[in-house]
């Protein structure tokens, strides 16, 4: 069974539920403190939270931790690396993904269920979705306003939309360019997303749409 490291930085706070979601999706997962090694794992998930309390810029301090060098190597090997929320911020701050996450257009924390359109179902994390499918997940962040110089050069995985999949200004909760909610690297094995798939992995919590992010990732490793 593929085994994933759920990386824990000081201040990470979505580690437990991310481990549960991966297990529910049929994989194995372990919480791994940021000073431990990642060599026995088939992939890495950097979960949400407030590593170093978001001081300076969200993700900035974690992105400079030694373990990020190891993660860059793992990414080069083609293993899957998923950054959720603060994990996405860490991936952009460390240069593993392009762009930056700025403070929301209304500059405060926003916790809300949103609709997402799956714009790319060819990445390691989206193969269980169909292209253009509309799914539901919660967001919870203060710095999720994605910006990149040339958005046409990147692989967009998820975009904020309305229930019908329309990409509109009203459906954009944080001011992201092109309503971007998640992107991947060129190879599709490193993906960052602001919405929380692990919080949408249980029918009682509002949706199971997020589970397929983890199922895709597990399937990708198995191939």
CA distance 25 to 218: 8
Least gap, CB of 33 to other proteins (angstroms): 7
Residue nearer to other proteins on the CB measure, 72 or 151: 72
Instruction: Assess 14 for contact with other proteins (CB under 8 A).
Output: yes
Instruction: Assess 50 for contact with other proteins (CB under 8 A).
Output: yes
196 is catalytic: yes
Q: Which of 27, 43, 49, 144 binds other proteins (CB under 8 A)?
A: 49
Burial class for 198, CB neighbours closer than 10 Å (0-12, 13-18, 19+) = buried
Q: Which two tokens stand for residue 174?
A: 């944080």
143 is catalytic: no
Report which of 15, 9, 3, 11 is spatially closest to residue 198, judged by C-alpha positions.
15
Instruction: Assess 198 for contact with other proteins (CB under 8 A).
Output: yes
Q: Which of 22, 43, 45, 54 binds other proteins (CB under 8 A)?
A: 54
Residue nearer to other proteins on the CB measure, 21 or 116: 21
Least gap, CB of 52 to other proteins (angstroms): 5
Q: List the 180-184 sheet strands across, edge first.
A: 28-33, 3-8, 43-46, 81-84, 190-193, 180-184, 155-161, 110-118, 134-141
The count of other CB atoms within 10 Å of the CB of residue 152 is: 7
Catalytic sites, residue numbers: 85, 196, 198
Catalog residues that contact other proteins under the rule CB under 8 A: 10-11, 13-14, 16-17, 20-21, 33, 48-50, 52-56, 61, 64, 108-112, 138, 140, 196, 198-199, 201-202, 204-205
């Amino acid at each position: 069974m593929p085994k994933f490291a759920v990386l824990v930085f000081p201040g990470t706070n979505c580690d437990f539920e991310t481990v549960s979601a991966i297990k529910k999706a049929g994989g194995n997962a372990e919480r791994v403190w940021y000073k431990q090694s990642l060599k026995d794992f088939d992939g890495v998930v950097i979960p949400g939270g407030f590593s170093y309390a978001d001081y300076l810029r969200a993700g900035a301090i974690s992105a400079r931790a030694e373990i990020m060098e190891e993660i860059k190597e793992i990414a080069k090997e083609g293993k899957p690396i998923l950054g959720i929320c603060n994990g996405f911020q860490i991936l952009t701050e460390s240069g593993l993904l392009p762009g930056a996450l700025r403070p929301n257009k209304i500059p405060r924390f926003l916790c809300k269920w949103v609709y997402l359109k799956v714009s790319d179902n060819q990445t390691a994390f989206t193969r269980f979705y169909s292209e253009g499918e509309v799914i539901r997940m919660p967001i919870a962040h203060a710095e999720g306003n994605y910006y990149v110089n040339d958005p046409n050069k990147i692989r967009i995985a998820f975009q904020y939309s309305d229930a019908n999949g329309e990409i509109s200004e009203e459906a954009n909760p944080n001011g992201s360019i092109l309503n971007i909610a998640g992107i991947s690297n060129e190879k599709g094995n490193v993906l960052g997303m602001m919405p929380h798939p692990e919080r949408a992995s249980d029918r009682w919590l509002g949706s199971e749409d997020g589970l397929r992010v983890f199922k895709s990732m597990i399937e990708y490793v198995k191939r």
